[in-house]
Chain A
Amino acid sequence: MACCRVDRTGRRPGEPGGSEPEKEDKPGVSTIDDVKPIPVTIGGVRGGPAVRTLRRDPWWKSPAFTFVVLTLFVAYTVWAVFQNADYFVGISQHRDLISPLYSPCIVGSCVPGSHGTFLVLHWWMLTPALIGLSGPGLFRSTCYYYRKAYYRSFWQSPPGCAVADGHKRYTGESRFPLILQNIHRYAWYVAIAWNVILTIDAIMAYRLPGDGGIGVSVGSLVLTANAAALWMYSLSCHACRHVTGGHVNEFSKAPIRHRLWKVVSKLNAIHMQFAWVSLFVVVIADAYVRMVAAGWFTDPKLF
């Protein structure tokens, strides 16, 4: 301890100027590391047995479940992405259904009909799903809820509450690369743009060319459910809660933002549920379009 003694201006005794602690303009204190007001004594002897956890309830169930479901989701998505086929049901089947994983289809490799006037990256010959997934992938992977889910289940940091995390060192989200999680707000802006595109897709799905012009099919309902789930997911986002009103300190001076904040806060309380529901719905929507496109069955028209 003696080596590290500092007075309350942060200077070590004997350093020039270290003897006038009353002077508050703290010359010599340049970084926060120089400010060491009170010693936090570390390394005290702890009580209790040296075991990983004393918990006896099945705490591992929930991370194991998350692990399995997220792994299955990633596996399915990777498979679907590199399938690079069967993602669009076009005029030949009197429908306009595009898989949410492949939307917006704006690259050279898109099958005819799957893109509107948006064809921009003519030279892109890889699977269009890499574009389609970029925004939502960024959004989901930096989501505060999913962060919790995968830190616990994949990274085991911690695997459960009061269960030791097995890592030697821990810097959380304060260093590269995890400090990049702070871009989540921008991922949210991107996700909102994606939601608009997927909403257009859902509206387009009510066009049944050559099958009555406009109508409702199971496919259009599936894409509508997909868009709705994604809107609920992204509107309940913590970044949304902050930018709509959470940043305000005096709500009485910002009544509109206060109202918005109250609505978003309500949604935010069930953000986790929206996260899971929208995950499943996206997979269902992709699988549905895929099966119809592959010709397993035709998309039934309801009315």
Chain B
Amino acid sequence: MADVTMRVWRGDSTGGDFADYTMPAVEGEVVLDVLHRIQAGPAPDLACRWNCKAGKCGSCSAEINGMPRLMCMTRMDELPTEEPVVVAPMKTFPIIRDLVTDVSFNYVMARQLPPLKPRAPEADGTYRMQQVDVERGQEFRKCIECFLCQNVCHVIRDHEENKPNYAGPRLFIRYMELESHPLDTNDRRELLRQRMGIGLCNITKCCTEVCPEHIKITDNAIIPLKERVVDSSYDPIAWLGRKILRRTKRGAVEVAQDAPAFTAPTSEDRLERQTLPVMVGTAVGAGNPSTAASAGPGAGPAEAAGGTGPTAAGDPFGTDAGA
């Protein structure tokens, strides 16, 4: 069979460039397979994350021929091989090395997410939910946290300065799941509007286009959230209804402090560790041995699992909803 040329980004925070590796083509391979053969051959120090090779762990996100995709789910035979196959790291997050990026932004935003606040249980001490009540949220639980949607979203991809005020599509689905949760009593709408950037999204749907789990992020989470924010902030009739029924909406400041970052803060939340400058500014991996990208030459395939992000207290991505 013919050869394939892989044009892979090699570099770290001090700079980098593409390197070409020409490998014999093997039938039925995915991009990740070829990278593994490159690691086993010409470039043993090539760093990339992977774990399951089945599109379920969300580790192997990269940009293949410019499109954010999972390397383990992109078959070589669907790519044009006349030209080199370009594999670059996700652009929106700081680079650690080669194809490995620091996705801790997503964990930071996750720790700011106010978790489920269930109403009081029924008289017998249990909660009961009907299937129809939880169906909507179940779609969102397919998320594998590949962060491809966060990566493709132009709000932060092209405008770094928006990051502190933008939860991003991956977390918008989590907000929607909780906001529409039958047991939840919290009200995150003002937080979404004032801090989490629901108004920054301009519903251009790139997140939906790249989601490997085919979650209808924009249609089923972001737009419904925008409509709920309209209820709470922009709709005079809804405002009148709230006045008459004496319902109050919760303020953003108050809700923000329900988040794990406040209720169960980690050292990060207390600013005791300076995340990024230390990690990417110096020699890669220094002081952070858990980052597999620090593997030196000859260390074999770097198999950094997706866990370089700080461990969050309170399970911010939440397996707590019980849906």
| A interface bracket (residues with beta carbon within 8 Å of B) | 35 or more
Q: Residues of A contacting B105 with CB < 8 Å?
A: 40-41
Which residues from chain A sit less than 8 Å from chain B, CB to CB? 1, 5-8, 24, 26, 29-32, 34-35, 37-49, 53-57, 144, 147-148, 151-152, 157-158, 161-162, 164-165, 167, 169-175, 178-179, 182-183, 185-186, 238-239, 241-242, 246-247, 249-252, 258, 268-269
The 8 Å CB contact of B133, one of A48, A148, A251, is A251
B172, CB-defined interface residue at 8 Å: no
Q: Are the C-beta atoms of A169 and B275 separated by less than 8 Å?
A: no
B23, CB-defined interface residue at 8 Å: no
The 8 Å CB contact of B274, one of A1, A47, A169, is A1
Q: Residues of B contacting A169 with CB < 8 Å?
A: 159
Q: Are the C-beta atoms of B88 and A54 separated by less than 8 Å?
A: yes
Least distance between A225 CB and chain B CB atoms (Å): 27
- Complex formed: what's the CA distance from A167 to B197 in Å? 18
The 8 Å CB contact of B160, one of A43, A239, A241, is A43
B288, CB-defined interface residue at 8 Å: no
- Complex formed: what's the CA distance from A144 to B204 in Å? 9
Contact A238:B227 (CB < 8 A) given known A47-B101, A161-B152, A162-B68: yes
Q: Residues of B contacting A26 with CB < 8 Å?
A: 253, 257
The residue among A48, A165, A174, A268 with the most chain B CB atoms within 10 A of its own CB is A48
Closest to A30 in B: B253
Least distance between A251 CB and chain B CB atoms (Å): 4
Q: Are the C-beta atoms of B109 and A40 separated by less than 8 Å?
A: yes
Least distance between A119 CB and chain B CB atoms (Å): 30
The 8 Å CB contact of A37, one of B101, B111, B200, B234, is B111
The 8 Å CB contact of B154, one of A37, A148, A158, A242, is A158
- Complex formed: what's the CA distance from A30 to B234 in Å? 22
Q: Provide the main secondary structure of the chain B interface.
A: mixed
B199, CB-defined interface residue at 8 Å: yes
| B interface bracket (residues with beta carbon within 8 Å of A) | 35 or more
The 8 Å CB contact of B203, one of A148, A165, A170, A185, is A148
A-contacting residues, B265-306, CB 8 Å: 265, 268-271, 274-277, 280
Which stretch of B11-19, B30-38, B52-60, B242-250 is in the interface? B11-19
- Complex formed: what's the CA distance from A47 to B259 in Å? 31
Q: Are the C-beta atoms of B235 and A171 separated by less than 8 Å?
A: no
The 8 Å CB contact of A38, one of B18, B90, B261, is B261
The 8 Å CB contact of B65, one of A29, A44, A57, A172, is A57
Q: Residues of B contacting A8 with CB < 8 Å?
A: 261-262, 265, 269-270
Q: Residues of B contacting A57 with CB < 8 Å?
A: 65-67
Closest to B110 in A: A38
- Complex formed: what's the CA distance from A72 to B48 in Å? 47
Q: Are the C-beta atoms of A242 and B224 separated by less than 8 Å?
A: yes
Contact A250:B261 (CB < 8 A) given known A45-B94, A48-B88, A161-B206: no
Q: Residues of A contacting B230 with CB < 8 Å?
A: 182, 185, 242
Q: Are the C-beta atoms of A48 and B209 separated by less than 8 Å?
A: no
The 8 Å CB contact of A173, one of B181, B202, B265, B274, is B202
